[in-house]
Structure 1
Amino acid sequence: MASGKIYGSGREARLAIRSGEHRGQTAGIAPGFVQGNLAILPKALADDFFRFCQFNPKPCPLIGASEPGDPRIPALAEDLDIRTDLPLYRVWRDGKLVEEVPDLKAVWRDDLVAFLIGCSFSFEEALVEDGIDLRHISAGTNVPMYRTNIDTVPAGPFHGPLVVSMRPLKPADAIRAVQITSRFPAVHGAPVHLGKPELLGIKDIAKPDYGDPVEVKADELPVFWACGVTPQSVIATVKPDFCITHAPGHMLVTDLKNSRLAIL
């Protein structure tokens, strides 16, 4: 699943990212370890965002959060530093993306709260182990993601459209994928839609809003999962004066094991 070096633990991957050794996407760089989407907000917005995650568990399954101003999240990893341990961050001001940076040292503030949201990389690993081909992985690209016409459940100022990720699968593989991903509710769970992207408000499946396009062949269905990039869509809608997210595909690698998230 990864292009380049594969690390034997979440800690090894984080140290490689922290040192600048690894700067690319994180899919498959530490097989077996949970990765997370990142949203960092000022403390004044943190309670409302926490409720937003509770109200929208499919796109925003919360796996960890920090104390205000604390860059550590010990429940996810003892030596984690949220300011340095992702390959690429996005800085937003008034809902607009203003820069992408390799660390947060210059923009970190004492009032910031970090939220980690479950990532589909965990269930993708289970799909690949079952022999299901995932085209964006075999092509070495990022998964395509789309804003939809489905509204999230609002909480305080937070509202906006659901974002979905798409994987083209043959019907038999799609059925198996539903069965497998249903076991991973902490990382988006089962798909939210199969086939007919127009019903989700997606006008052109070849033009994703995030990530890279992949071919959907004549004998395949586009299968859509709720996506952890949804907070970035919400940020563009709500326009908070300052916040930080991960760059799509550039996740935090934790010390949690994917197997611990599965419901047997």
Structure 2
Amino acid sequence: MDVADLSPARARERFRAGERLPTAGWCRGWTQANLIAVPAALRYDLLLFAHHNPRACPVLDVGEPGAWSTALFGGDLRTDLPGYRLYRDGRAVADLGEVTAEWRDDLVPFLIGCSFTFERALLAAGVPVRHLELGTNVPMYVTNVPCRSAGRLSGPLVVSMRPVPEDLVATAVEVSGRYPRVHGAPVHVGDPAGLGIGDLARPDFGDAAEVREGEVPLFWACGVTPQAAVMASGVEYAIGHLPGHMAILDARDDDYRVG
């Protein structure tokens, strides 16, 4: 079966069984989300950080301490994503296929909006999406733009990039802008140097995507930003998704469309 035709429950079964792939293009019409789980002592700092930085950290759902499911995610957050990243003292120490043994009783899971949510709408409007064409992971970059800090959390904005033909830039901005709870319109259009990105061929996460003649790079705020804050702030313990390997929710993309 084409992965685009899978239900969220079936996709989660495949990840639980060991499938390890980026999720762009999976489960057509179903919303995907970033995962970050932090100790309960930091949950209000993270909520405030998200409130201060809503473009990068649009919170879709939050679980109770120790919970491994939420109202929008009916599976097991410890096993039903295709990849996880474990952090200790602000350092990424392991990429894992499941985190049952690592999931502490005090961890509070946050599900953060993902720009994959509006990619089908971009395609429907005639805007190409390069990483879907190539079957690769979306490129993501740590910028020199600081987020607004909150409590013990601070760090840089992370962005995802999609190259768009020049004559479709306005369309891409308008279409993605209809999804403000999942990053919305781009935060930057054009020269990556304006974000402190020196080389588009060397993303910090994901795979490079060629910007061809006549195309303009568009940059959207990215839900990996909380993981960058975990690193910058030296958080003692946290679990995130492996970038591009998302939680597939029991919610529809159209739930987050306005206008």
1:171 matched to 2:166? The reply is: yes
In the alignment, the residues of structure 2 paired with residue 4 and residue 90 of structure 1 have an alpha-carbon distance, to the nearest angstrom, of 27
Map Cα deviations across residues 145-166 of structure 1 (whole Å, 9 max, x no partner). 1111111010001111101111
In the alignment, the residues of structure 1 paired with residue 234 and residue 2 of structure 2 have an alpha-carbon distance, to the nearest angstrom, of 36
In the alignment, the residues of structure 1 paired with residue 88 and residue 6 of structure 2 have an alpha-carbon distance, to the nearest angstrom, of 37
Map Cα deviations across residues 88-113 of structure 1 (whole Å, 9 max, x no partner). 11001011111111111111111110
SS in 1 for 2:254: helix
In the alignment, the residues of structure 1 paired with residue 5 and residue 98 of structure 2 have an alpha-carbon distance, to the nearest angstrom, of 21
Task: Give the corresponding residue for 2:199.
Answer: 204
1:25 matched to 2:22? The reply is: yes
In the alignment, the residues of structure 1 paired with residue 22 and residue 139 of structure 2 have an alpha-carbon distance, to the nearest angstrom, of 14
* 227-236 vs 253-262, which moves further: 227-236
- Counting only pairs closer than 5 Å after superposition, residues 215-254 of structure 1 correspond to structure 2 as 215-254=210-249
1:13 matched to 2:8? The reply is: no
Number of paired residues?
259
The one-letter code sitting in structure 1 at the alignment partner of 2:56 is: P
SS in 2 for 1:198: helix
SS in 2 for 1:23: coil
In the alignment, the residues of structure 1 paired with residue 158 and residue 186 of structure 2 have an alpha-carbon distance, to the nearest angstrom, of 12
- Could you say if the C-alpha distance between residues 65 and 223 of structure 1 is closer, same or farther in structure 2, counting changes exceeding 3 Å? same
Map Cα deviations across residues 151-207 of structure 1 (whole Å, 9 max, x no partner). 101000111110111111112211100010110011100001111111111111221
The one-letter code sitting in structure 2 at the alignment partner of 1:11 is: A
When the two chains are superposed, the root-mean-square deviation of aligned CA atoms in Å is 1.4
In the alignment, the residues of structure 2 paired with residue 154 and residue 231 of structure 1 have an alpha-carbon distance, to the nearest angstrom, of 11
**Residue 4 (structure 1) shift:** 5.7
Map Cα deviations across residues 119-164 of structure 1 (whole Å, 9 max, x no partner). 1111112111222111111111111111111110100011111011
In the alignment, the residues of structure 2 paired with residue 28 and residue 214 of structure 1 have an alpha-carbon distance, to the nearest angstrom, of 16
**Residue 5 (structure 1) shift:** 3.4
1:34 matched to 2:31? The reply is: yes
Unpaired runs of 5+ residues, structure 1, are: none
Contact (CA 8 Å) 1:148, 1:201: kept in 2 or not? yes
Among 40, 44, 47, the alignment partner of 2:41 is 44
**Residue 15 (structure 1) shift:** 2.0
Unpaired runs of 5+ residues, structure 2, are: none
* 7-16 vs 30-39, which moves further: 7-16
The one-letter code sitting in structure 2 at the alignment partner of 1:18 is: R
Contact (CA 8 Å) 2:59, 2:111: kept in 1 or not? yes
The one-letter code sitting in structure 2 at the alignment partner of 1:84 is: T
**Residue 7 (structure 1) shift:** 4.0
Contact (CA 8 Å) 2:3, 2:27: kept in 1 or not? no
Task: Give the corresponding residue for 1:134.
Answer: 129
Contact (CA 8 Å) 1:7, 1:13: kept in 2 or not? no
Task: Give the corresponding residue for 1:55.
Answer: 52
**Residue 84 (structure 1) shift:** 1.2
